[in-house]
Structures are given as structure tokens and as C-alpha cells.
């Protein structure tokens, strides 16, 4: 007699959306963080938030209809500041201000939606499916054009009072030091982000034209030196570039001391374009942290590279939605909008 045919277990798929200044990505993600299917299209940001939201709705609707299995949750990551109500307070690359994205999406899709900042979403992905899997205390730092991050402590991704917990790029590393793009001086970002590595290299090349000759030759002029120039020059063995990288590693290490002592994580995950371009920074920074942090938190902490790539925001939005959906009571579709932004 044939075995009875049991129905397939539900796949527990979730949908993650990444809304950035240049593209909208919609990914169908399984419980292991694997992208089952993805679709992306250019963001037509100049046509305004109503248009972009319409595009997101259409893409999500299509993805929901195409999914073979039931989709448990939908999460949307946005390259901007998102408050606890899912309103995008500001998104420079999208030119959005006070857009009630969650309310709009819930109204139009008639289902609960989780909306979160894209850096936080990428941190969710690293925690749930990447280098922090299964851990209760994780700090994720992304060093790229800017520096952002997020912290999981005692098993919870922390939000803070205005949903902006984890702006580690804007912690003071050198009081009174280099001017940051924010209003503070001496931020971590003012030393270890892409733009600040470029500025430090330009300053160094101006101060030492002989030492900086290779950087200038590679870049074309002092003003055109980028962090990529520094990366290329250090590969060629250029001494100034190597010194800059070493100094960057030491400064990042001093920042990791703060993270270790203040936040006591099991793992610090380092990702982003700067880490991809200068992978040696992890070891340089770790050496400083091992020599200088407090013994108790040092006992357990590991400092590791990020495991996921460009899809992390979409994958993390799906993970966050899966988890947070359960914590929020189901709500009626919103009629009308809450914010000053006109509904489409």
C-alpha cells in the first residue's frame, strides 16, 4: 500500500522590500534567509512618494500572487530615518519628509507591514541569518560612505526612544577632533568612513607632497583622492597609504573598545564597503581592542566580518517582519492617512 500523501508543510515565506534612492528590490525569503525569488526595478524618486509607494504596492501585490506558499509577513526597509509608527521622517536619497509609509502600505495592501531603516534591516539579516545567527548579544557596524549600525542585547534588537538606537558612527572618538558631516566633532564616522578616509588621505598628501605623490598620481589630483585610491595605493605598497590604513585600524580599534565595554556583545559584525575594500582593518582593530578593552567583556567577544551582501536589507526586512508581526496586534486597515503628507 502506498504511503498516504501528506500535504507539504507550509514554507513560511516572508517578503522583504528594500526601497532605496536608486532601486526597489522585492525578495521572497524563506525561514533560513534564502532568497527564493527576487525582483528589482529602478526607483523613480523624482516622481514623488505617492508614485514610489504605488510601485512598491504593485511589486508586493505581484510577489504575493506569484508566491506558491502563503506569505507570513511583509517587511519594508527604507534608506532613511523611520519612526516607531513606520513614518519615514527623512530620506535624503528619496527626498522624502514625513511620509506615513506603514499606514499607506497597510491601507493599500490590507495587511500588517513592518517598516524599518535599511541599516537596521541589514543588521536584522546579519543577526537572524548571517554572522550573528543564534546569538543574544550582537553589535553590527557597517562602514561605508557613512557608518551605521544596530545592537541586539539580551535577545532583542534595540530601537530606543525615537527608533534611532545604534548610530555608532556618530559617537565621539576624538573629542574636539575632525569635523563630521553631522554637527559633532571627532565622530567615528569622521575618521573611518569612506569620505573621511578620503579627506584624511588628501590632508596627508597635502602635508607631505613627497609621501603623497603616489596617491596623487593614481587619483589625478589631491582633491580627487578617494578611499579607493588609498586602497589601490596600499596594494602597491605605498607607505603613506599603508600608514593611513594602519591609523584607521587603530582608530576603529579604539571605537571597538567602547562598543565592547559599553554594550558587552558576544559578537561584533563588521560590514560595508570600507570593510570590503580594506579587509585588514578587522585584524588591525581587533588587536587594539584585545589589548585595551576590559577583561570581562573581552572574554566572550568575537569580531567577525559580515556574512551577507547586497540583499541584506530585503532579507532583514523579511526577518524583522516575521518576528515583529507576532508582537503587534493585528490592526484594521487604516482609512485616510495620519501625516501631513497627501494620500495618493
- Taking CA atoms, 151 is separated from 120, 143, 159, 267, 276, in Å, by 9, 15, 9, 10, 21
Query: Given the complex with a second copy, which of 110 and 291 has the nearer CB atom?
Result: 291
Torsion of CA 77, 78, 81, 83, to 10 degrees: -50
Q: Which residues contact 20 (CB under 8 A, 6 or more apart)?
A: 43, 79, 93, 94, 118, 313
Report the alpha-carbon distance of residue 299 to residue 313 in Å, rounded.
Answer: 31
Q: Is 49 in the site for a second copy (CB under 8 A)?
A: no
Q: Is 165 in the site for a second copy (CB under 8 A)?
A: yes
Give min distance, CB of 276 to a second copy, in A: 24
230: left (phi over 0), alpha (psi -120 to 50) or beta: alpha
Pairing outcome for strands 35-42 and 71-78: unpaired
- Taking CA atoms, 277 is separated from 248, 270, 305, 306, in Å, by 13, 12, 12, 13
Torsion of CA 263, 247, 167, 293, to 10 degrees: 10
Report the alpha-carbon distance of residue 35 to residue 90 in Å, rounded.
Answer: 29
Give min distance, CB of 139 to a second copy, in A: 10
DSSP β-bridge partners for residue 165: none
Q: Is 70 in the site for a second copy (CB under 8 A)?
A: no
Q: Is 100 in the site for a second copy (CB under 8 A)?
A: no
Interaction with a second copy in 199-258: which residues (CB under 8 A)? 250-251, 254-255, 257-258
Interaction with a second copy in 174-203: which residues (CB under 8 A)? 174-176, 182-186
Q: Confirm if 265 and 151 have CB atoms less than 8 A apart.
A: yes
In the set 33, 265, 271, 313, which binds a second copy (CB under 8 A)?
A: 265
Q: Is 339 in the site for a second copy (CB under 8 A)?
A: no
Stretch that binds a second copy, among 2-10, 27-35, 59-67, 295-303 (CB under 8 A): 295-303
Give min distance, CB of 318 to a second copy, in A: 21
Q: Is 164 in the site for a second copy (CB under 8 A)?
A: yes
| Count of residues engaged in binding a second copy, rule: CB under 8 A | 51
Give min distance, CB of 127 to a second copy, in A: 14
Give min distance, CB of 294 to a second copy, in A: 6
Q: Is 97 in the site for a second copy (CB under 8 A)?
A: no
In the set 51, 136, 178, 246, which binds a second copy (CB under 8 A)?
A: 136
| Residue found by looking up cell 512598491 in the block | 56
Write out the residues near a second copy by the rule CB under 8 A: 81, 89, 136-137, 153-154, 156, 158-168, 170-176, 182-186, 250-251, 254-255, 257-258, 261-266, 291-294, 296-297, 299-301
Amino acid at each position: 500500500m502506498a504511503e498516504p500523501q501528506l500535504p507539504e508543510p507550509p514554507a513560511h515565506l516572508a517578503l522583504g522590500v528594500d526601497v532605496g534612492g536608486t532601486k526597489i528590490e522585492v525578495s521572497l525569503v524563506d525561514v533560513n534567509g534564502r532568497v527564493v525569488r527576487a525582483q528589482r526595478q529602478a526607483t523613480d524618486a523624482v516622481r514623488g512618494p505617492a508614485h514610489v509607494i504605488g510601485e512598491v504596492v504593485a511589486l508586493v501585490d505581484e510577489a504575493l500572487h506569484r508566491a506558491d506558499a502563503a506569505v507570513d509577513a511583509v517587511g519594508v526597509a527604507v534608506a532613511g530615518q523611520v519612526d516607531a509608527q513606520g513614518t519615514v521622517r527623512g530620506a535624503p536619497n528619496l527626498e522624502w519628509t514625513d511620509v506615513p509609509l506603514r499606514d499607506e502600505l497597510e491601507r493599500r495592501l490590507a495587511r500588517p507591514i513592518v517598516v524599518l531603516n535599511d541599516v537596521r534591516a541589514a543588521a536584522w539579516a546579519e543577526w537572524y541569518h548571517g554572522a550573528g545567527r543564534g546569538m543574544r548579544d550582537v553589535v553590527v557596524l557597517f562602514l561605508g560612505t557613512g557608518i551605521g549600525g544596530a545592537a541586539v542585547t539580551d535577545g532583542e534588537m534595540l530601537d530606543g526612544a525615537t527608533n534611532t538606537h545604534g548610530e555608532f558612527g556618530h559617537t565621539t572618538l576624538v573629542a574636539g577632533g575632525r569635523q563630521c558631516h553631522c554637527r559633532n566633532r571627532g565622530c567615528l564616522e569622521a575618521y573611518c568612513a569612506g569620505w573621511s578616509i578620503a579627506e584624511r588621505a588628501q590632508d596627508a598628501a597635502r602635508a607631505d607632497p613627497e609621501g603623497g605623490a603616489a596617491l596623487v598620481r593614481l587619483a589625478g589630483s589631491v582633491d580627487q583622492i578617494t578611499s579607493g585610491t588609498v586602497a589601490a595605493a596600499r596594494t602597491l605598497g605605498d607607505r603613506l597609504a599603508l600608514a593611513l590604513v594602519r591609523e584607521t585600524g587603530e582608530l576603529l580599534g579604539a571605537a571597538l573598545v567602547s562598543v565592547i565595554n559599553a554594550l558587552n556583545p558576544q559578537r561584533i559584525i563588521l560590514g560595508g564597503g570600507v570593510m570590503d575594500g580594506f579587509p585588514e582593518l578587522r585584524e588591525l582593530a581587533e588587536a587594539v581592542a584585545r589589548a585595551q578593552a576590559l577583561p570581562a567583556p573581552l572574554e566572550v567577544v568575537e569580531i567577525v566580518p559580515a556574512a551577507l551582501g547586497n540583499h541584506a536589507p530585503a532579507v532583514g526586512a523579511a526577518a524583522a517582519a516575521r518576528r515583529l508581526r507576532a508582537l503587534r496586534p493585528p490592526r484594521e486597515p487604516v482609512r485616510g492617512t495620519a501625516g501631513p503628507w497627501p494620500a495618493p
